[in-house]
Structure 1
Amino acid sequence: MSVRTFWASVSTLAIGAVAVLGLAQPASAAGANYVALGDSYSSGVGAGSYTSESGDCLRSTKSYPYLWAAANAPSSFTSVACSGATTSSVSSGQLGALSSSTTLVSVTAGGNDVGFADVMQTCVLQSEATCVARVNTAVSQAQNTLPAKLDSLYSGIHTRSPQAHVVVLGYPRFYKLSGSCIAGLTETERGAINNASEILNGVIAKRAANAGFTFSSVVDEFTGHELCSGDPWLHSVTLPITNSYHPKAVGQSNGYLPAFRSVA
């Protein structure tokens, strides 16, 4: 091989590498048909700036699906995520947004199936023993009844969009133990809630893997920014009450968005 031929080959390989490494991801994102499904953690409750069309679903332009779409300009983007959604209501009310041409899906679901809102209300308003008992009930539901519900939901997503890359996101760890909070829940209650969220995330991750979907945890992103951390990205008990225990706008942009972007 002549020197000229050698360098021509190297140049061709280099150009190909640049095309693969530098252009593949933006081109893929630009060509994506993206649908966001799920509950309040995907709709963006707590982040503000809700779209008028979303009504009580409270879809925020500061939620991670909207932020990702704004940054990546996909061919199409639809969010049907809704506050209060369960696995069954996602299945019955949101999967119509999917089609065989959908190439990217994100979803958060499972927290409402185990009574997340009721757990937090019980722990805020009632005794430590009652709180821990309610958390244990949620854990039992997560381990025993939620897996089949997730399987059904994930099967429905795959049936409607068999070629889609599906990203299932988890939930944050809510409390920094031995943190800066001097009032509110006890350390025992905070520890029980954290343990429950870890079990819930584990169940969701396993079912997502079994479905061939990608699970992305947000625990690492929120570490150091839990409640009682001094710099929380989550609302504590607040008004409006619907914001309580949901990510602030910064939790969506610095927590959920990086977790989604890293695998989308």
Structure 2
Amino acid sequence: MAVSVLSVWLAVRLTPPQRVSVGGQTVHLSVTGPWGHWTGPGTLVLFGQDVPTTVAFHGPLRPRLSLAGITFGPELDQFVREPGGSTAEVGRRLAEGWFRYALWQTVIAAGVALAILVAVAVLRRLPVRSAVALACAGVALASGLSAVGSLVLAQDTPKVLRSIDSLEGLVGRAPQVPLPPPEGPAAGDVHLVVLGDSTAAGAGNAPLGDPTAEDRACRRSADAFSEYLERLRERPVLNLACSGATIRDGLLEARTVGGTTVPPQLSELRRAPGASAVTVSIGANDVRWAALTRLCTTQPQCGDRATDAFFDAQLTRFSLDYRELLRRLAALLGSPRVVVTEYYDPFGERADCLGEEGITPDKARVLRTYLARLNAVLREGAEAAGFSTARPDFTGHGLCTGQPYVQGSAERAPLHPTATGQLAIALAVQRALLQPSPAPAGTHTAP
């Protein structure tokens, strides 16, 4: 009995995920558990983040669905139904994948039990008949336990999987409302469009020479990296970035700042139908990076369980919104080149000068870890969509160096890039644009 239980436990961890392809998507299906609670969510892995499903499953083992290959197009959210219309193709294939996984798990559990019991029989020098009887009993018991765990106790899992007809069926996200028509003047000569938050807006640097009310509300600067890109590429660049923007509040929906309503950046992007490239700098506000930094400055330490749980929740929500943004960008008319900009490290290797602001070297390391996880999501999502990424290099120019690329606490936009830092970002984007366009990672076409 002990060997059988151990074999089933090992089989859950050793059984390879089953590949399921449907609607242009590739899903690797495995299980999580065993769980102590009888009912609970499964897991969807999106850009490296574990997202709990809104649909519940019964039993000690629950599905774990990892999106390995993604086609960013209508197929992602509108899976084709079978002629009868009662069962979605995606649900049927997920249920088939679950049965295949359960079968492989049972076979592996039996194999592990057989290997262990044969070794025991040899070490104890049992007679052949006793050894065969022991092995047969162990294999039968391990197979039975595995089948009970995945097929009997989780018998409603295939039914729940069959009811899923889209990604939203797993995570409970409502489809994005259509974008309104652009409001600003046409920009037919624009070669590149910049979307994003205060980093892309250039907050804290020199103001524009003749700013509009929208420019002032969004804190757009004459030293934003879009201005440097315009000089480097010798072609007009349109900067739509706005301070405080998130994917939902700024890029996909309108944003109100100080009484000024700023239209959705993705809608205004259509003012430049001839743009051959788009850069995106987004994510810090979505994960509430500023609030995390303030929390770390006021607490004796940061990186405790509560802070980690808060960041995990923000990053999970961002991953879902980021998927929607990537889908919208992939559907742009003309298929412009897309570059996703990762975030710079404002602290660098030294943080000894930040003690008065409440940032110790240990706290800086924790914040750097959070930033690295955000950048990993940005990078994995871009790679899945076949977009490029740009990573600004601030090495040797952190806050505590002689020539910082980051504004200090006494400046207008602390932790934001200086004019020199904006130039470093522009150079990183320019390098990415000069490289060949990458192919979407791990995409497959449904049979």
Which band: TM-score by shorter chain?
0.7 to 0.9
- What is the percentage of aligned positions where both structures have the same residue? 24
Q: Secondary structure at the match of 1:167?
A: strand
Relative distance call for 1:134 and 1:160 in structure 2 (3 A) is farther
Which of the residues 259, 267, 270 maps onto 1:96? Answer: 267
Q: 2:332 & 2:378 partners in 1: Cα distance? A: 20
Answer yes or no: is 1:78 the counterpart of 2:238: yes
CA shift, 1:244, in A, is 0.9
Letter in 2 for 1:78: L
Matched with 2:198 is: 40
CA shift, 1:226, in A, is 1.3
Give every structure 1 segment of 4 or more consecutive aligned residues whose post-TM-superposition deviation is greater than 4 Å: 130-135
Q: 2:386 & 2:400 partners in 1: Cα distance? A: 36
Task: Report the structure number with the largest CA radius of gyration.
Answer: 2
Contact kept? 1:103, 1:161, Cα under 8 Å: no
Matched with 2:361 is: 187
Higher strand share: 2
Contact kept? 1:174, 1:193, Cα under 8 Å: no
Higher helix share: 1
Answer yes or no: is 1:262 the counterpart of 2:431: yes
Matches within 5 A, 1:233-248: 233-240=405-412, 243-248=413-418
Letter in 1 for 2:415: Y
When normalised by structure 1's length, the TM-score is 0.78
| Residue segments in structure 2 that go unaligned for 5+ positions in a row | 1-188, 254-263, 434-447
Contact kept? 1:151, 1:211, Cα under 8 Å: no
| Residue segments in structure 1 that go unaligned for 5+ positions in a row | 1-30
**Root-mean-square deviation over aligned CA pairs:** 2.2
79-88 vs 44-53, which moves further:
44-53
Matched with 1:223 is: 395
Relative distance call for 1:158 and 1:191 in structure 2 (3 A) is same
Residues 45-103 of structure 1 deviation map (CA, whole Å, 9 limit, x = unaligned): 122233511022011121111111123222x4311100001011212210122245331
Q: Secondary structure at the match of 2:386?
A: coil
Which of the residues 375, 380, 383 maps onto 1:201? Answer: 375
Q: Secondary structure at the match of 2:284?
A: coil
Contact kept? 1:114, 1:138, Cα under 8 Å: no
Q: 2:310 & 2:403 partners in 1: Cα distance? A: 28
Q: 1:261 & 1:138 partners in 2: Cα distance? A: 35
CA shift, 1:187, in A, is 1.6
Aligned residues, how many? 227
Residues 232-256 of structure 1 deviation map (CA, whole Å, 9 limit, x = unaligned): 110122243xx01100111001x20
Q: 2:219 & 2:279 partners in 1: Cα distance? A: 17
Matched with 1:252 is: 422
Q: 1:236 & 1:128 partners in 2: Cα distance? A: 21
